[in-house]
Structure 1
Amino acid sequence: MVRAGVQQGAARSAALLTAGPVGTALGGPLIALMGPRGVLAASGVATMALAVVGAAARIRSTRRTAGRRDPLRAADGSGPCGGAARP
C-alpha cells in the first residue's frame, strides 16, 4: 500500500523536474515576443492574480465551514447519548 505522503512527494518531484525544461522552452519565445521587461511585468501580474484568487478561495472556504455546526453536538451542548460533549 502506498501512503499519501509518498504520492504527494512523487507528484511534487515530477512537477519540479519538468518545470525547468518547460520554462526554458516557453521563456525563449516569450522574451523574443514581449521583451524581458514585458515578460517580468506579465509574470508579476499573473502572480498577483493567482494570489488574489487563492485568497478569495480560502476566505470563501473558511466562511462555509465556519457556519456549519457539528451534527453530533446538540444545541444545549450535550453530546450523543446525553453525555457532555468534548471541547
Structure 2
Amino acid sequence: MMKSILLGCALALVSTAAHSACLYGSAVNSDGSKIDGSAKVSTSWNGKQAFPRNGKYQLCLGSNPKASITVYLDGRKYTQIHVNGDTRLDLRR
C-alpha cells in the first residue's frame, strides 16, 4: 500500500514538472467566420506553430515561460500576453 502511495506521488511530481504551457482559444475572421487552416499562430518563445482548424487552435510551447511573450498571427504581431500555465487567447483577424 505504501509503495502505491509513493509511486502515485512521484508520478504527480514528474507530470507537474514536465507540463508544457499551451495557448489555446478560438480563431475567427473579422466577419465572425471560423478560420480553418488559412492562418498561422506563432510566438516569440520558440519556433513552434499552430494552424487553426474549425475556428479553434492550440499551441503548446514545450515548457512554461512564466513570462510575457509576443503572439504572432500570420507573421504579424498580434499581442503580448503573460503566460504561466495554459492560457486562453481568442484570435480575430
Provide TM-score, normalisation by structure 1: 0.31
Which structure has more strand as a fraction of its residues? Answer: 2
Which structure has more helix as a fraction of its residues? Answer: 1
Could you say which structure has the larger radius of gyration? 1
Q: Which has the higher contact order (CA 8 A, sep 6+)?
A: 2
Provide TM-score, normalisation by structure 2: 0.30
